[in-house]
Amino acid sequence: MSTENALLTILVEKINNDTLVLPTLPAIALKVRKAADDPEINLNAMAEVIGLDPSLSARIIKIANSAYLGRTIKVESLNQAVTRIGLTQIKNIATALAMEQLFVSKNEVVKGYINKIWDRTVDVVANALALFRIYQDETKDRRLNVDTLTLCSLVHNIGILPILTEAERHEEVFANPAFLNVAVQKLSGQLGGAITNEWGFGKDFVQVAESWRNMKVQTEAVSYLDFVRMGAAVAGHVNSQKDAILNICMKKNMISDLALVESPEYKEMKETGKAIFS
């Protein structure tokens, strides 16, 4: 049996036996989510929790000042940032900003792959957010919100991480990127669903992580799944499904004209989204 087939067999067996090690949320994300679920929490107490992580604190202030919150007056303190974002949104925003901590490896070969995945993920996030802004401006539809979309976009490819962790024990596999792509196509959706379920995330997150590659899964109304797929298509990361995705999104009136993604305004919105995670 080839190394590639052996690794695929190992992955499938571990998934079936529920023995594959799944990534866990960063500690600070767990603390923020637990605090946000406390009905007695207030903005000052939440700021204290976030303040335990200087890097997250700086990013929270950065996103509070970003164009996506539509404010021109800058905040300068964590308390002001948490107040601007609000307790309802801070849970998903803080989790999203902490996600980068999962995309690390001490193995140089694996690190290269993980860095590429993170860069592509941020690219999808940036495009999904820009598309979402256009959609809201054109339709005034407020059923979906930007903080949930941000986190949905960031976890859409989370199922790849345990595949790379397992493959790290078989470095020769990385000499064949085509095999890794097959493993990702076959298994990452199932793993993504398992991870987001284990984290206690809601159905929107699980649906995106589990099914964003599976075009048989569709939603009747415009959904986070649609924006993640369209973000990936516009970013050029799903060439084989790009036309199908864009056709569905156009039928759902998610964007009036695809030429808008080439406009200077769109490109500026996309860069604003990328800057949040730089």
Does residue 164 fall inside a structural domain?
Answer: yes
pLDDT, position 8: 75
Does residue 98 fall inside a structural domain?
Answer: no
232-256 pLDDT, tens digit per residue, is: 999 999 988 999 999 999 999 999 9
pLDDT, position 71: 61
Question: Are 98 and 29 contacting, i.e. CB atoms less than 8 angstroms apart?
Answer: yes
Reported confidence tier of residue 4, pLDDT bands at 50, 70, 90: low
Does residue 76 fall inside a structural domain?
Answer: no
Contacts of 276 (CB under 8 A, 6+ apart): 59, 62, 63, 66, 68, 97
For 56-84, what is the mean pLDDT? Answer: 84
105-123 pLDDT, tens digit per residue, is: 888 888 888 999 999 999 9
Does residue 148 fall inside a structural domain?
Answer: yes
Q: Which CATH number goes with the domain that contains 18? A: 1.10.3210.10
125-153 pLDDT, tens digit per residue, is: 999 999 999 999 999 999 999 999 999 99
pLDDT, position 248: 94
Does residue 108 fall inside a structural domain?
Answer: yes
Q: Which residues constitute the domain of residue 163?
A: 3-22+103-275
156-209 pLDDT, tens digit per residue, is: 999 999 988 887 877 776 766 777 777 888 889 999 999 999 999 999 999 999
**Phi and psi at residue 252, to the nearest 5°:** -85, 5
Count of structural domains, the chain: 1
Does residue 190 fall inside a structural domain?
Answer: yes
Q: Against a cut of 0.85, is the pTM above it?
A: yes
Does residue 153 fall inside a structural domain?
Answer: yes
pLDDT, position 239: 83
Predicted confidence (pLDDT) at residue 1 exceeds the cutoff of 50: no
Mean of all residue pLDDT scores within the chain: 89
pLDDT, position 206: 97
Does residue 222 fall inside a structural domain?
Answer: yes
What is the token pair recorded at 263? 């406009």
Helix (H) or strand (E) holding 30: helix 27-36
Helix (H) or strand (E) holding 209: helix 203-211
Helix (H) or strand (E) holding 160: helix 160-167
Q: What are the E-state strand segments in the chain?
A: none
